[in-house]
Amino acid sequence: MDTVYLGEVVCSKREAFFEEHLPAVVERLKKAGKKIVLSTLALVTSDREMTAIEQRVGQGFLIEANDVACLKALDGKPHVVGPFINVFSESARDFMIRNKASRIVLPVELSGSSIEILAGGSKAETEVLVFGRTPLSVAMRCYHARAYGLNKDGCRIVCGKDPDGLAADTLDGEAVLTVNGSQTLSRGYGVLLNELHALLEMGVSHFRLSPQDVDMVKVTEIYRSVLDKKTEAREALAKLKKITGAVPYENGFYYGKEGLSWIVGKKSLPQSKRK
């Protein structure tokens, strides 16, 4: 069964725009046979935000915790640990599992060898981001508001002017990052398509596709076809490129390189299968 994550992760000011529609969306997805997980903020900064999280927990949904403050509200209930909580070691992983984490979404910075260590010995499900702009940080300040000459408190929800994010370039004009409110993401799409079967062998059970301004239905079909061994990765990448256009691809973190690197033609077997 496919899982759909719903909810605001970056800024609580945005929640008012979709809150009234959430019950209808949940019902529609349930009828389609999807499993629902409600995501929570990556940076909890007020009592109001904490109260909202507690209300979410009380609704009986599986919750994705993206800030350790959410763990207290969960009070030992089964949950998903999101990618914004730093699970970089086996001890951190096991602590989360003892706290009733049923699934851990690993941080995007992890290399393939680290993923193998954490996924292979895990008593919880393991999830990895395999498509979409890579979330790098969430800050107290809102870069998006500042870019438009505003401040965070009086932002006027200016991030809505850039639904696909605001490009951030170097002084030399190279597009390297994307700004989404107070969040910083990669400019290119993180793509782990050639690496899917290696990840499966490592013990990864779930593969996250982060929605972008492209035909996500077709993207999902491409990834599913590779997982089901109906399409070779090389052919799938060619199909994916036709959908995503000029946006560059990145997979450097997986290979222990700088994140914006794109490495092709390298074997991506688990460490245990390498000679």
At 51-79, the pLDDT tens digits run: 999 998 988 889 999 999 999 899 889 99
Is there a contact between 122 and 98 (Cβ–Cβ < 8 Å)? Answer: no
What distance in Å separates the CA atoms of residue 236 and residue 75, rounded to the nearest whole number?
A: 42
- Which pLDDT belongs to residue 173? 86
Query: Which amino acid is it at 9?
Result: V
* pLDDT tens digit sequence for 219-275: 999 999 999 999 999 999 999 999 999 999 999 999 999 999 999 866 554 444 443
Q: Which residue has the tokens 């074997």?
A: 267
Rg (CA), the chain: 19
Residue 206: what residue type?
A: H
| Strands, E assignment, the chain | 3-6, 35-39, 62-65, 79-81, 101-105, 125-138, 166-169, 175-180, 183-191, 206-209, 249-250
102-135 residues labelled b (16+ CB within 10 A) or e (exposed): ebbbbbbebebebbbbbbeebebbbbbbbbbbbb
Average confidence (pLDDT) over 11-21: 93
Which pTM value belongs to this model? 0.93
